[in-house]
Amino acid sequence: MMRPDREKPDLYDRLAGHDFERAYQKGFMRSVFDSLRNKRSGLLSFNEIRKQLSIENQVDRGMQEIAISQIIGSLSRYHDFDNTFLPRQTNTRGRWQHIDKLHLTCEVLPPVEVYQLGEFYFVIDGNHRVSVAREKGQKFIDAHVIELQLSFQVDRDAKWEDILLAQERVSFYDRTGIARLRPQADIQLTLPGQYSKLLEHIDVHRYFTSEYLGREVSYDEAVSSWFDYIYKPMIEVIADMKIMELFPRHSQSDLYLWIIEHLAYLKESYDQPVSFAEAAEDFTRIQRFLSDLFNRLFGWVTRLTGKWKNDGD
């Protein structure tokens, strides 16, 4: 017996599925290119921004039409979309396609809800609606706006990453006491959200050191040991191998984090010991390959774009 027509995927379901696949692939390629160019591709976390700001007043501005380009972050979905609201996770597929289907069938969608900070907006509710609308080329969207008033002006030139990084570094130094324990330490990361990984490394190092010594290792001991036997030796390898020449926009601390995580991957993959130098060498080889691939792709796209332009002329 044939299924009733209503059980079959209809045209709008297929179109919505195609739209999601296209948006997801665009988001994936964009994240690759942004990573190679050291550009932030993720949405900003409202909660992380909020921790650093002194809110003087909260005002309900009611319903407004706001520019989608000025929506730069999210309350809870900042991991799911990039900073142009392209989907980064496949777990958003169902909701995204549902919203897209409503767009395709000309259904009226409820307004999104946003916080306003200066000239910027952060989504409280309606991330998928913003994502679909932006992918469809929509410039504005209806929103219920709650303005959080600050003691200073936040304009479009505000460098949120710098604010986040400064706060994260202060928190890391306060938590670890590393300026007191190792005054020569200069740990500078260039991307938000990475200092928490260093704290995880210290916690793991503390656990295994306690297991090895058969006693509880204090946090100060763990921080000092991590710096002396893990962080500093890796930084020396990075300097000796002149790896920074490949990453002029990054810091030695960035390289430490990437290489130490690559070392863990190699150990797990090959089930054998891997030295700092071996991990650094393999990481460098891979990065050179990716950089060369990116340059080739960029050259190809540039030539193809030029061809299209000439053909259009």
pLDDT tens digits for range 139-169: 999 999 999 987 666 666 666 667 667 768 8
| pLDDT, average across residues 129-146 | 96
Same domain, 198 and 262: yes
The residue type of 164 is L
Same domain, 111 and 25: yes
Same domain, 109 and 19: yes
Same domain, 242 and 195: yes
Looking at the 3D structure of the chain, how many domains does it have?
Answer: 2
Same domain, 234 and 145: no
Same domain, 130 and 188: no
pTM: 0.52
CB-based burial label for 119 (10 Å; 0-12, 13-18, 19+): middle
- What residue numbers bound the domain in which 232 lies? 160-292
Same domain, 193 and 218: yes
pLDDT (0 to 100) of residue 166: 72
Could you give the CA distance from residue 178 to residue 259 in angstroms, rounded to a whole number?
21
Same domain, 13 and 144: yes
* CATH number of the domain within which 119 lies: 3.90.1530.10
**Chain segment 68-117, per-residue pLDDT in tens:** 999 999 998 888 898 899 998 888 899 999 999 999 999 999 999 999 98
Could you give the CA distance from residue 306 to residue 313 in angstroms, rounded to a whole number?
11
Same domain, 105 and 205: no
Beta-carbon contacts of residue 65 (< 8 Å; ≥ 6 apart)? 140, 141, 142, 143
Same domain, 277 and 188: yes
Same domain, 115 and 178: no
Same domain, 61 and 84: yes
Closest listed residue to residue 177, CA positions, set 212, 123, 218, 147: 218
